[in-house]
Amino acid sequence: AELIEAIELLEPSTEFNILAYNERIDFFQHDLVQATEENKYKATSFVRKLKPIKNTDIHGALRAALVFDSQVEAVFLLSDGRPTAGRLTAPAAILQDILSYNRFHNLTFNSIGVGVESEMRSFLQKLAEPSDGEFRLVQ
């Protein structure tokens, strides 16, 4: 619901994409797309078809976002749990890798925690703060 609301509020001049993640990364589109009414409708349909799966590759999703397109300025990570899949699953190791890699990309990371425990809340805050991004908690 949070993601659908965010998509619906996008200005038409905004370019966006969605990377859904569990054990693998699924892309809404292969490139950034304009936030036209048609693309927002397709994006919300993509989101509605997503099903929760047990494993979560947060590191893989963040790495994919970093190299997706040189025009990307901001990443919004929406998570409901801790990393359990992928190359790195320790929150501290993920932060070190992503923040180090981001020095060359200068993306703003924003994070949204959906009913997350305190350790994940801290992780999501530490991801957002160094890039002047925002963290938001949704219960």
Mean pLDDT by 10 residues, the chain (139 residues): 90 94 90 96 95 87 91 88 90 95 89 89 94 90
pLDDT of residue 80: 81
CA dist 61 and 79 (Å) reads: 11
pTM of the model: 0.87
Spatial distance between the Cα atoms of 111 and 113, rounded to a whole number of angstroms: 7
Closest by Cα among 50, 49, 51, 42 to 8: 42
pLDDT reported for residue 22: 87
pLDDT at 104: 84
Per DSSP, what are the bridge partners of residue 136?
112
